[in-house]
């Protein structure tokens, strides 16, 4: 611990001296913060022309003064709020989203077997597993958990099926509570209440919303299309459904159950494997203080990252990005809380990402491989509209066609343990410099010839990165090499669930609709110099948001992206951006050209061949003797600085920042040699002219230093200004800047 603290202090000094870091690295606002922001646009409600299954709507009273909404905790009584703030644009995203509902035909989840009924359940946009019911005593309309993991734990599990009837001569509708379904705990099913008789929804003068017996008292509600407020829909023919694939009417897949007990195999959030004592005891003592969300965890993580950076320098390597970049990403991951209920076993307000910690370990060959490790529930914190996906993945039952399969319109939390390499392993020159033969690739799965490998198909068949909300990213193409957008299998946020019912991103929802509730949003750009950081690819390359047309002055705006979707500029290093580009794909005899909104294209630009445990994302990594050290398993930490030495001698090349800097007239340059070699250290002026040779001779393995007295080769003092010093020895080359004051 002494070493760690000392190193932390030394690094603090270094940071103070190296001023002028220009890279603007920041994270997008998490969904819970978006909720508190003003919507910032005026809105004129327009009524829907017909009531349709899956419509996203708002309910406005007949005086056009009030809008129906759920409370801040979603569950409980419905109430109304003043409509004007939303019309005037001063209302918040929370005001808007709490007023938005999706209406579903009673049979939506079983459409393959049942017909539409013309009666609807009403679901809060912020909680797709919840539905509108009534409180038996007060007769207030209330929101209850209808089908989450926890619904059977409620005092009452019930929902109402509504009939909407147009009031003749008006654009308003009465809402008739025409039937009610109550959960039977002994049969584990909802059963219709045969004693129910119709009641009507009434907005009372005290602001309560109740069910009443007399049709004459019923409020005529304007049912307005909510997409004018926040558009969450991917239309037929849009860039997220260019083939106009229609909405598939298959049954929804059942939640996974335990084969032995028949009970749900999803776990209670509070029993999450990431939150147990077992998880903590899996992690080495050296790293445990980084776990969780406390201030102490944050400062420990920062200190450990400083040690890792110094270890890398000592070995002649570098962190790929600044420590700030990794800490910004870490803080953002830990700042996501469920602000909606779209996951079967999520809990409103709880964290989506449990731990982000840095590990420091060497391979058996002595190679150093530090990582950022992320323990995540792999779930976004905002609503995801899975019901709306036109053609979700089928269950893949062998011997069945798609229309016979159940499909995934629901999601469960998972446990993922993601490793992002911190060491700069370099970049590939050619696509196939990365060897994917051990893992398989979309290209090899499709039996493509190596000559046909490209940045779309030479990529993993599974997850390739993690987004800043803690959700994994897949390549833009699906497993049959068509873009997921083209296959119409993702939501308007660019996400979907696979057969295992876990979420993953395939495309950029921001570029698609800019509706303000995506992974990142236009609001994030204001006052910044570069798009926000929105993810990390497993090869260690950072992913930033798309360059927005409204922010053309941003750093790197004019630097063209390469085939991988990346570029390099200023102090940012090589990094990816989400981007949009024209795509042409064919289905049968038809060819479609549309705009493909890429999040992460697929192929790895970072060198992956040396990264241990590449593509491993499960907590089973703790049990794997080869790679458990890289996820920080108990007994594996190699954090201490002394571990770098080779019988007290350096094991890698290094050149350190000169000290002092700025200086007048003498400064010291320290460097490490892992073996005997010819060493040249020279000083150049800012025009690149060599002005002094400090060292040019054979030197032995060890820790070295030399001094520059600010004189040139002729012995004359040089002018004040910036100078560059460089070292070359064998394969190792490095240059740094320094400033002479007079
Ligand atoms: Zn997918
Ligand atoms: Zn850039």
pLDDT band at 100 (very low <50, low <70, confident <90, very high): very high
Contact 110, 250 (CB under 8 A): no
Band of residue 658 on the pLDDT scale cut at 50, 70, 90: confident
**3 state DSSP class of 472:** strand
pLDDT score of 259: 82
How many CA atoms lie within 13 Å of 193's alpha carbon, on the beta-carbon side?
19
pLDDT given for residue 9 in this prediction:
42
Reduce the DSSP state of residue 172 to 3 states and report it.
coil
Please state, in angstroms and as integers, the Cα–Cα distance from residue 665 to each residue in 121, 659, 712, following that order: 79, 12, 12
The rounded Å distance from CA 497 to ligand 1 centre is 6
Domain 654-740 is in which class? Answer: mainly beta
How many angstroms separate the alpha carbon of residue 425 from the centre of ligand 2?
20
pLDDT, one tens digit per residue, over 255-284 is: 888 888 888 789 999 999 999 999 999 999
User: Can you give the pLDDT at residue 472?
Assistant: 98
Return the pLDDT at 641: 43
Ligand nearest to the CA of residue 495, numbered in listed order: 1
The CATH fold assigned to 40-228 is: Trefoil (Acidic Fibroblast Growth Factor, subunit A) (2.80.10)
649 pLDDT tier (thresholds 50, 70, 90): low
pLDDT in tens, 183-216: 998 998 999 999 999 999 999 999 999 999 999 9
| Statement: residue 459 has pLDDT above 80 | yes
Which tens digits make up the pLDDT trace of 315-336? 999 999 999 999 999 999 999 9
Q: How many residues does the chain have?
A: 742
Q: Is the pLDDT of residue 20 over 80?
A: no
pTM: predicted TM-score of the whole model, two decimal places? 0.84
Segment 639-648 mean pLDDT: 50
Q: Which of 62, 80, 67 is nearest to 174 (CA)?
A: 62
pLDDT tens-digit series, residues 505-548 = 999 999 999 999 999 999 999 999 999 999 999 999 999 999 99
Let me know: does 713 contact 730? Beta carbons within 8 Å: no
Q: Which pLDDT band, with edges at 50, 70 and 90, does 3 fall under?
A: very low
Q: How far is the CA of 197 from the centre of ligand 2 (A)?
A: 62
With cut-offs at 50, 70 and 90, classify the pLDDT of residue 640.
low
| pLDDT tens for each residue of 103-119 | 999 999 999 999 999 99
Q: How high does pLDDT run on average in the chain?
A: 92
CA 168 to centroid of ligand 1, rounded, Å: 47
Ligand nearest to the CA of 547: 2
Contact 159, 181 (CB under 8 A): yes
CB 178 within 8 A of CB 119: yes
Phi-psi region of 204 (alpha: psi -120 to 50; beta: other; left: phi over 0): beta
Domain ranges of the chain: 4-31+246-254+273-631, 40-228, 654-740
Position of tokens 């993690």?
466
CA of 20 to the centre of ligand 2 (A): 18
Which ligand is closest in space to the CA of residue 578? 2
For residues 209 and 101, is the Cβ–Cβ distance under 8 A? no
> Which ligand has its closest atom nearest to the C-alpha of 462?
1
* Mean pLDDT confidence for 330-358: 96
Q: Which ligand is nearest to the CA of 480?
A: 1
Cβ 211 vs Cβ 139: under 8 Å: yes
Residue 18 pLDDT: 36
CA 545 to centroid of ligand 2, rounded, Å: 9
């Amino acid at each position: 611990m002494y070493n760690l603290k000392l190193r932390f202090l030394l690094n603090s000094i270094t940071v103070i001296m190296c001023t002028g870091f220009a890279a603007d690295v920041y994270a997008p606002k998490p969904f819970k913060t978006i909720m508190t922001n003003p919507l910032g646009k005026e809105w004129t409600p327009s009524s829907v022309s017909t009531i349709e299954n899956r419509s996203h709507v708002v309910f406005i009273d007949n005086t056009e003064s009030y809008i129906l909404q759920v409370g801040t905790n979603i569950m409980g009584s419905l109430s109304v709020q003043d409509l004007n703030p939303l019309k005037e644009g001063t209302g918040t995203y929370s005001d808007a989203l709490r007023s938005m509902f999706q209406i579903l035909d009673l049979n939506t989840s079983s459409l393959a077997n049942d017909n539409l009924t013309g009666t609807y359940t009403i679901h809060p946009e912020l909680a797709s597993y919840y539905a509108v019911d009534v409180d038996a005593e007060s007769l207030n309309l209330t929101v209850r958990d209808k089908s989450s993991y926890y619904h059977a734990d409620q005092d009452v599990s019930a929902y109402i099926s509504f009939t909407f009837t147009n009031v003749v001569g008006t654009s308003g509708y009465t809402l008739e509570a025409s039937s009610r379904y109550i959960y039977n705990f002994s049969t584990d099913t909802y059963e219709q209440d045969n004693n129910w008789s119709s009641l009507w929804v009434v907005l009372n003068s005290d602001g309560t919303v109740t069910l009443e017996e007399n049709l004459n008292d019923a409020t005529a509600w304007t049912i307005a299309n909510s997409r004018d407020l926040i558009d969450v829909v991917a239309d037929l023919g849009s860039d997220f459904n260019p083939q106009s694939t229609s909405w598939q009417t298959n049954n929804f897949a059942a939640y996974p159950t335990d084969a032995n007990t028949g009970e749900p195999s999803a776990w209670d959030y509070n029993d999450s494997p990431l939150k147990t004592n077992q998880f903590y005891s899996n992690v080495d003592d050296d790293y445990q203080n980084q776990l969780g969300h406390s201030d102490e965890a944050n400062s420990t993580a920062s200190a450990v990252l400083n040690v890792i950076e110094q270890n890398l320098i000592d070995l002649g390597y570098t962190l790929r990005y600044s420590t700030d970049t990794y800490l910004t990403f870490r803080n953002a991951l830990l700042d996501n809380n469920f602000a909606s209920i779209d996951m079967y076993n999520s809990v409103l307000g709880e964290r989506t990402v449990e731990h982000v910690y840095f590990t420091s370990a060497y391979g058996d060959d002595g190679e150093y491989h530090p990582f950022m490790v992320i323990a995540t529930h792999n779930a976004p914190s905002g609503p995801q509209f899975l019901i709306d996906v036109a053609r979700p993945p089928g269950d893949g039952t062998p011997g069945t066609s798609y229309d016979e399969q159940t499909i995934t319109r629901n999601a469960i939390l998972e446990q993922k343990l993601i490793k992002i390499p911190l060491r700069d392993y370099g970049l590939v020159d050619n696509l196939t410099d990365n060897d994917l033969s051990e893992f398989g690739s979309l290209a090899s799965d499709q039996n493509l010839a190596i000559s046909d490998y490209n940045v779309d198909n030479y990529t993993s068949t599974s997850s390739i990165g993690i987004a800043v909300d803690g959700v994994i990213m897949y390549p833009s193409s699906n497993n049959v090499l068509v873009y997921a957008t083209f296959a119409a299998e993702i939501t308007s946020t660019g996400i979907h669930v696979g057969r295992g019912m876990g979420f993953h991103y395939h495309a950029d929802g921001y570029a698609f609709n800019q509706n303000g509730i995506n992974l990142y949003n236009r609001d994030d750009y204001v006052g910044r110099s570069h798009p926000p950081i929105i993810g990390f690819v497993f090869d260690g390359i950072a992913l930033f948001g798309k360059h927005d047309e409204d922010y053309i002055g941003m750093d790197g705006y004019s630097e063209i992206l390469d085939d991988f979707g990346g570029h390099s500029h200023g102090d940012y290093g090589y990094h990816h951006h989400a981007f949009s580009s024209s795509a042409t794909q064919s289905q049968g005899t038809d060819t479609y050209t549309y705009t493909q909104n890429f999040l992460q294209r697929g192929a790895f630009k970072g060198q992956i061949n040396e990264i241990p445990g590449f593509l491993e994302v499960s907590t089973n990594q703790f049990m794997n003797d080869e790679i458990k050290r890289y996820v920080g398993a108990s007994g594996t930490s190699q954090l201490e600085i002394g571990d770098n030495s080779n019988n007290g001698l350096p094991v890698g090349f290094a050149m350190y920042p000169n000290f002092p800097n700025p200086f007048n007239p003498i400064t010291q340059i320290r460097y490490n040699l892992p073996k005997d070699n010819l060493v040249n250290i020279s000083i150049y002026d800012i025009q690149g002219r060599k002005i002094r040779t400090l060292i040019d001779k054979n030197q032995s393995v060890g820790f070295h230093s030399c001094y520059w007295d600010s004189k040139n080769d002729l012995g004359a003092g040089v002018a004040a200004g910036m100078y560059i010093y460089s070292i070359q020895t064998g394969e190792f080359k490095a240059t740094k800047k320094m400033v002479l004051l007079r």
